[in-house]
Structures are given as C-alpha cells and as structure tokens.
Amino acid sequence: MRLGAGGRIALFLLLWAPALGVVFLLDRPVADWVRHAPLFHRSDWFVPILKLPGNFLFTLAVCALLALFHRKRWRAALPLLISGPIVGLVYMFLKWAVGRRRPVIVDAPFDFHPFAHGLMGLVHAESGLSFPSGHATLAFATATCLTAVMPRGAGAFFVVACAVGAERILENAHYVSDVVAGAGLGIVCGWIAIRLVSRLFSRDINCGSPVSPPP
C-alpha cells in the first residue's frame, strides 16, 4: 500500500526517534575522540564554508536564486523562506527546554538544565547550549525544501546537509545526538513549510515526503 505524504512523515518519525535514542550512547566516546584528536578548528579557513548551508543568510541567497531562475519563481522559494523562521522558533525553544552545554565547554552529555532562568531564559538565551544543532537543523530543512522543487538534486542536497552536521561534530561544537536531532527536526520543519505553502497555493509546489523524494 502506497503511503501518502503524511504517512511517510509519520514513518520517518517512528524510525528517527529510536535512532536518536541510540546515538545518545555515542555522545561521550565521540566527543572524547574529537577532543583528543580534533580534525577541525573554528579558526580553519574552510570551516565557515562548510557551515554556510546552516546559515540563514545562505538560505536567503538560495531563495533569491530560486525566485529568479526556477520556473515556479517565488512559489518555489517560499517554502524555503518560511522554513527559516520555523527552524528558528523550534531551535530556540528546544535549546532552552533541554539546557545541554556544548562538549567543547564541558564533557557532560547527560547533564541537562531544562528551562534555565524561567521564561527569561527563553527570551535571553544562555550561551553555549548545544541541543539541537541549529546549523544541522537549518541545513536539513533547506535540503528538504530544495528536494521538493528540484527532486533530481535530492542526493546532493542531503550530502551537503550531512557535511554540515559532520563539521559540527568534528569541531567539537556538538554531540552526535545534537546533530541527529537537528537533522530530523530540520526535515520536519521543511516538510511543514512545504505543506503550508501547498495549502496556500494548491498544487503549485510539490508536497512529497522529505525522506522519500518524488521522482
């Protein structure tokens, strides 16, 4: 039986949630390995380039290119544009709700301080919080939205998103679970943005599953 878009996203969540639970077991050993044999440092010249797809200014630039050159123009760009604020809200809330410090600050993957400083902590976020990875979340949301309008590039879009996530781990800025959480959340945020735009503009924008791109 062929699943609809909603069924495919539900199946993705059912697979992603236990996978996230498993990778928590990798957080400490991977962080220890990176700490003793760092491959990247934030001062390396190529690191900002690797992180670009997780930057909202990059997202805006891609939106502009879609609006100028894609056959659907701004309707192709709109889901990607909307995905940014959705990612931002989810990212801001979860960092405050979980309260986990970056591995570069303290090696304590299971030390959580949820809702630190009450509501003021949500408005004035504490620095150095890591769960989820904001760069990974936005990169995967971008890959999801781009796949909906350019399905043939799906493989390349998600490889780039994975590279962003890998960089965040290898720089010791995030635990593995921070990135895996960000990847899943980004896909869901991208799918929500696609659905919102599809509802507004009927079938002008593809609403295929983010984990099973349309042909």
Detail the DSSP E strand segments found in 71-195. Answer: none
Degrees, nearest 5: CA angle 59-61-66: 95
Q: Is 202 exposed, middle or buried (0-12, 13-18, 19+ CB in 10 A)?
A: exposed
Q: Is 168 in contact with 122 (CB distance < 8 Å)?
A: no
Q: Among 1.20.144, 3.80.10, 2.40.50, 3.60.60, name the CATH number for the domain at 5-200.
A: 1.20.144
At residue 4, the pLDDT reads 53
Q: Could you tell me the residue ranges of all domains in the chain?
A: 5-200
At residue 16, the pLDDT reads 82
Does the N-terminal peptide bond of residue 132 adopt cis geometry, omega within 30 degrees of 0?
yes
Place of tokens 């400083």: 117
Give the single-character DSSP code of 212. B
> Along the chain (215 residues), what's the average pLDDT of each consecutive run of 10 residues?
58 80 90 80 77 92 92 88 94 90 87 82 78 95 93 93 93 93 94 88 52 42
- Dist CA 195 CA 197 (whole Å): 5
Taking the mean position of all CA atoms in its chain, how far away is CA 73? 24
Q: Write down the pTM of the prediction.
A: 0.85
At residue 70, the pLDDT reads 86
The β-bridge partners of 101 are: 129
CA atoms within 13 A on the CB side of 11: 11
At residue 215, the pLDDT reads 39
- Dist CA 19 CA 13 (whole Å): 10
